[in-house]
């Protein structure tokens, strides 16, 4: 990466990891095998992001709408989630990654909550990269949850952006600078609705299990060439 590009590196990159099902279908394999291949891609991308100097990486792993899928696929995903969390958290810790979760976590079974809670605790002091797993995440739901918490807090006074932000799932994480979606669809599917107001978008047809470091670098190069104005002249 050139020096100029290094200077224009996004602080927070978010990824909609889409295309696992189609990747499997092309190979006449069950969808869950596509999700398994997607987990491998995620490991590669976490390593690459850390090496490239990305400070926050958020990944859309399961949306509030993904419960609409057949229960066999949802169960397969929960199984992979357990396997991944148990097997990889120690590795993430050794790599100085702080693991966090954003979403309506209370929908998950108790054993998963135990592992996610432990992972957050164990990696709390790490400062190499924050990896935010957006699980049972929905942007609209996050805003509703924040409004509910604000009301429940009993504080009065005007509702400002800053106050509402304080009730979001990961309020200390800066808004995503760059949002990447793999798999060819040109939509965000309820990802970071509030936080993504001024994010730069990058779409690629590459299916998530095929996503390599070089693809990430391509997205970063595209980002580096953009001018962000935030409504100013």
- The contact set with Mg ion (CB under 5 A) reads 18
Return the residues of window 187-226 that contact ligand IPE according to CB under 6 A: 187, 189
**Cβ-closest residue to ligand IPE?**
21
Q: Which residues contact 139 (CB under 8 A, 6 or more apart)?
A: 188, 190, 191, 192, 193, 194, 196
HSE toward the beta carbon, residue 87, CA cutoff 13 A = 9
Residue 211 contact, options Mg ion, ligand IPE, none, Cβ 5-8 Å cut-off depending on partner type: none
Q: Does 16 bind ligand IPE (CB under 6 A)?
A: yes
* 18 tagged catalytic: yes
Q: Exactly one of 18, 136, 177, 190 is catalytic; which is it?
A: 18
d(CA 185, CA 217): 20
* CA atoms of 13 and 216, how far apart (whole Å): 10
Q: Which residue has the tokens 């990696």?
A: 123
Least Cβ distance, residue 42 to ligand IPE (angstroms):
10
Q: Which contacts of 160-168 are long-range, i.e. CB under 8 A and separated by 24 or more positions?
A: 165/194, 168/142, 168/194, 168/195
**Binds 129: which of ligand IPE, Mg ion, none (CB < 5-8 Å by kind):** none
Partner in contact with 213, chosen from ligand IPE, Mg ion, none, beta carbon below 5 to 8 Å by kind: none
Residue with smaller CB distance to ligand IPE, 167 or 206? 206
- Give the angle 16-222-169 at the CA atoms, nearest 5°: 35
Q: Select from 58-66, 138-146, 157-165, 214-222 the region that touches ligand IPE (CB under 6 A).
A: 58-66
Candidate list 185, 197, 198, 225; residue touching ligand IPE; CB under 6 A: 185
Radius of gyration for the chain, computed over Cα atoms and rounded to the nearest angstrom:
18
Q: Pick one of ligand IPE, Mg ion, none as the site partner of residue 20 (Cβ within 5 to 8 A by kind).
A: ligand IPE
Q: Does 32 engage in binding with ligand IPE (CB under 6 A)?
A: no
At residue 209, the 3 state secondary structure works out as helix
Residue 66 touches ligand IPE, criterion: CB under 6 A: yes
What is the number of alpha carbons within 13 Å of residue 50 lying toward its C-beta? 20
Q: Which of 10, 12, 14, 20 binds ligand IPE (CB under 6 A)?
A: 20
Positions marked active-site:
18, 66
Q: Where along the sequence are the contacts to ligand IPE (CB under 6 A)?
A: 16-22, 60-63, 66, 77, 183, 185, 187, 189
């Amino acid at each position: 990466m050139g020096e100029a590009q290094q200077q224009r590196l996004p602080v927070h990159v978010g990824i909609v990891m889409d295309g696992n099902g189609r990747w499997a279908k092309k190979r006449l394999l069950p969808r869950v095998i596509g999700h398994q291949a997607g987990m491998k891609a995620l490991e590669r991308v976490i390593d690459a992001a850390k090496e490239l100097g990305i400070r926050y990486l958020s990944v859309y792993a399961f949306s509030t709408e993904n419960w609409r899928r057949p229960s066999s696929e949802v169960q397969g995903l929960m199984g992979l989630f357990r396997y991944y969390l148990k097997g990889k958290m120690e590795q993430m810790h050794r790599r100085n990654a702080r693991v966090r979760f954003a979403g309506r976590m209370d929908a998950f079974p108790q054993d998963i909550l135990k592992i996610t809670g432990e992972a957050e605790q164990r990696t709390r002091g790490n400062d190499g990269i924050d990896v935010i797993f957006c699980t049972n995440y929905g942007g609209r739901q996050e805003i509703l949850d924040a409004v509910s918490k604000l009301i429940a807090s009993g504080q009065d006074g005007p509702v400002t952006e800053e106050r509402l932000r304080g009730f979001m799932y990961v309020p200390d994480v800066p808004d995503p600078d760059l949002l990447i979606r793999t798999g060819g669809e040109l939509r965000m599917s309820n990802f970071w609705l509030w936080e993504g107001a001024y994010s730069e978008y990058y779409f690629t047809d590459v299916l998530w299990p095929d996503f390599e470091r070089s693809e990430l670098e391509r997205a970063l190069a595209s980002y580096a060439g953009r001018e962000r104005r935030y409504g100013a002249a």
